[in-house]
């Protein structure tokens, strides 16, 4: 049996492992993807069940070291300190391949790979929507088997899915995950764009636009050179994300928090850096938190150390200002009502109603 809706993270490991492509990811009413077995194709090998990362833990190294980091280069497309871009550039310079989340032409968020630095901007920047993994685990395995260096980035559950799918340790694989608040429903994102920004010929979307002094500004650039700019959380979609109204059910009880990470490095925002990384904070540049996990994490950090400013920081201080490292957010008490109302009323009315109602979770 595949896991139920409360626990399945939609990582796609089952779809990727199925030898007869009998698993189809289907969208539920809330707009999240869940695996469905096509009986007519299934050969009952149970590989989909065995590969599920929530069913059996993967071995991981519990070593951790915390750093506050800023890229020395100006990484305009990045969300915080630009550390992802620095790691990606290192891998590309070695002839490697980089996997991560990008927008497709309709601004749906999907996983894909790039092999050239000119393409890196596509993967930079956080997209606060669940990304569809598609068959990227298979693609990564192909590159790894050919001896290519592969950097795979994603949420902690996606990395756990990849590691479980691969089942063996590859020396040429680097896994990077994010400190993760939780992922909103792709359907809500699609409906939000269609309802609130329709006919606007969108040119670009930045969930955290670096052009502004404030750390948290959401912006959409339209084709007519007008720009929609909102400071967090003053937009109905951003509000719903920040206050946990339409995150995936498994995110409210995430099994991949804290030391249970299967990545070599974990990246996040250095919230509260003014308290624990004062010298970097004074430089007035955005700062990331990097958690090194195990020997490979340390090696990669060493390789990129000439391209970053960094300072070792105290784990407890970092967690104090960024609790998502160790704990899941709680479910907004209006989540169920929100989705129930979507069955009966139009999207604009429901999203705005909950936005103006302002039910926060604290």
- Contacts with ligand FAD by CB under 6 A lie at 78-85, 100-101, 109, 123-129, 131, 153-155, 178-181, 183, 267-269, 288, 322, 324
Closest CB to ligand FAD among 22 and 83?
83
Judge whether 238 and 230 are in contact, CB under 8 Å.
yes
Distance of CA 251 to the CA centre of its chain: 12
Residue 9: what are its φ and ψ, rounded to 5°?
-95, -10
Closest CB to ligand FAD among 99 and 339?
99
Closest CB to ligand FAD among 303 and 322?
322
Closest CB to ligand FAD among 129 and 185?
129
Cis peptide before 343 (omega within 30 of 0): no
Which bin fits 244, alpha (ψ -120 to 50), beta or left (φ > 0)?
left
Closest CB to ligand FAD among 83 and 188?
83
DSSP alpha helix (H) spans, 290-361: 294-304, 315-321, 335-344, 347-357
Q: Which tokens is 255 given?
A: 């099994």
Q: How far is the CB of 80 from ligand FAD (least distance, A)?
A: 4
Rounded CA gap, 204 and 131, in Å? 17
Q: Which tokens is 28 given?
A: 């539920």
Closest CB to ligand FAD among 82 and 233?
82
Beta strand pairing status for 109-114 and 65-71?
unpaired
Tell the residue number behind the tokens 């590691």, with chain if given.
163
């Amino acid at each position: 049996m595949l896991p139920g809706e409360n626990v399945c993270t939609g990582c796609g490991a089952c779809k990727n492992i199925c030898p007869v492509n009998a698993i189809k990811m289907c969208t539920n009413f809330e707009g999240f993807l869940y695996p469905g077995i096509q009986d007519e194709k299934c050969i009952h090998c149970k590989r989909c069940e065995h590969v599920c990362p929530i069913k059996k833990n993967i071995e991981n190294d519990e070593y951790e070291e915390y750093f506050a980091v800023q890229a020395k280069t100006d990484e305009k497309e990045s969300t915080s300190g630009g550390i992802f871009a620095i790691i990606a550039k290192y891998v590309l310079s070695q002839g490697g391949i980089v996997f991560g989340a990008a927008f497709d032409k309709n601004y749906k968020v999907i996983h894909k790979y790039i092999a050239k630095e000119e393409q890196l901007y596509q993967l930079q920047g956080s997209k606060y929507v669940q990304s569809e993994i598609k068959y990227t685990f298979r693609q990564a395995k192909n590159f790894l088997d050919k001896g290519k260096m592969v950097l795979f980035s994603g949420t902690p559950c996606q990395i756990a899915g990849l590691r479980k799918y691969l089942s063996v340790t590859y020396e040429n694989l680097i896994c990077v995950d994010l400190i993760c608040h939780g992922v909103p429903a792709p359907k809500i994102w699609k409906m939000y764009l269609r309802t609130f920004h329709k006919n606007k010929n969108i040119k670009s979307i930045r969930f955290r636009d670096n052009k502004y002094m404030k750390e948290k500004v959401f912006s959409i650039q339209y084709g007519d050179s007008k720009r929609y700019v909102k400071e967090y959380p003053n937009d109905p979609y951003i509000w719903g994300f920040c206050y946990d109204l339409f995150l995936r059910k498994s995110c409210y009880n995430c099994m991949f928090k804290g030391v249970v990470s299967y990545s070599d490095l974990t990246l996040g925002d250095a919230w509260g850096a003014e308290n624990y990384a004062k010298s970097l904070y004074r430089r007035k540049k955005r700062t990331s938190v990097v958690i090194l996990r195990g020997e490979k994490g340390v090696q990669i950090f060493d390789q990129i150390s000439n391209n970053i400013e960094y300072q070792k920081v105290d784990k407890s201080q970092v967690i104090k200002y960024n609790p998502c490292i160790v704990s899941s957010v709680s479910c907004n008490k209006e989540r169920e009502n929100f989705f129930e109302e979507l069955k009966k009323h139009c999207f604009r009315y429901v999203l705005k109603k909950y936005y103006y109602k302002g039910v926060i979770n604290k």
